Amino acid sequence: MKPVAIFRHFGTEGPGYFATYLDDHRIPWRLVKIDAGEPVPSDPGPYSGLVFMGGPMSVNDELPWIPRVLALIGAAVKSNIPVLGHCLGGQLMSKALGGKVERNPVKEIGWGRVTVEASSQAREWFGDLRQFDSFHWHGETFSIPPGAVRLAASPYCVNQAFALGNHLGMQCHVEMTPEMIRTWCRGWRQEGIVGRAPSVQTPAEMQMDLARRVDTLNGVARRVYDRWIRGLA
């Protein structure tokens, strides 16, 4: 099998549990370190799938690699090479497919409930799961691109996931590990949070009962990843 290409846009936002999942299923993968200056491939053909991770930047920023990533996503979708996006990755997918990325009404940071839509497409990706607690860390959000279907929402962000055939874009972070959460919490003050907001948790709140919460989230990730790898050539 051709490897899955995983694109890292920021040093602390790597593949996390997704890499563990691929290893467990003996699926080869390659990490493309955009944050370290690695070039964006112009052709998705050498890969069985493309996966885009998170990052603190906006897809609307004038960064030289963003247009290349958008073009790569478009080429992959046209060739039916499965694409998977986490947070910034989902936003990149939306923009590449004709959607918009704008500021969310509030920042959503920490653990929060996600509700799965009651549709056949949502059942295809999430099975019988109707709600789950996911990890969030974003200030912007995507629209559902033309032809895609919304799969999930949260109280603070109406678009948490969308699917277009074998392609899945997510606003929430199902790929988290305990180590990633601890690392991200060290940068919490950089978010400039003033006062208390119901959509934002403190580092102490985010790390409460961490092992159990992440283990449960990994179970949710396995559901959607199981569906996604079905599209791999």
Of 166, 155, 159, 157, residue with least CA distance to 144: 159
For residue 143, the domain's CATH number is: 3.40.50.880
Strand order through the sheet with 157-164: 29-33, 4-8, 49-52, 83-86, 167-170, 157-164, 149-154, 101-116, 131-142
Q: Which residues of 172-199 are buried (b: 16+ CB within 10 A; e: fewer)?
A: bbbbbbeebbeebbeebeeeeeeeeeeb
| Structural domain total, the chain | 1
pLDDT in 10s for each residue of the chain, 233 residues: 999 999 999 999 999 999 999 999 999 999 999 999 999 999 999 999 999 999 999 999 999 999 999 999 999 999 999 999 999 999 999 999 999 999 999 999 999 999 999 999 999 999 999 999 999 999 999 999 999 999 999 999 999 999 999 999 999 999 999 999 999 999 877 765 655 678 999 999 999 999 999 999 999 999 999 999 999 97
Residue 120: enclosing H or E segment and its boundaries?
helix 120-126
Residue 74, φ and ψ in degrees, nearest 5: -60, -40
Domain housing 69 = 4-229
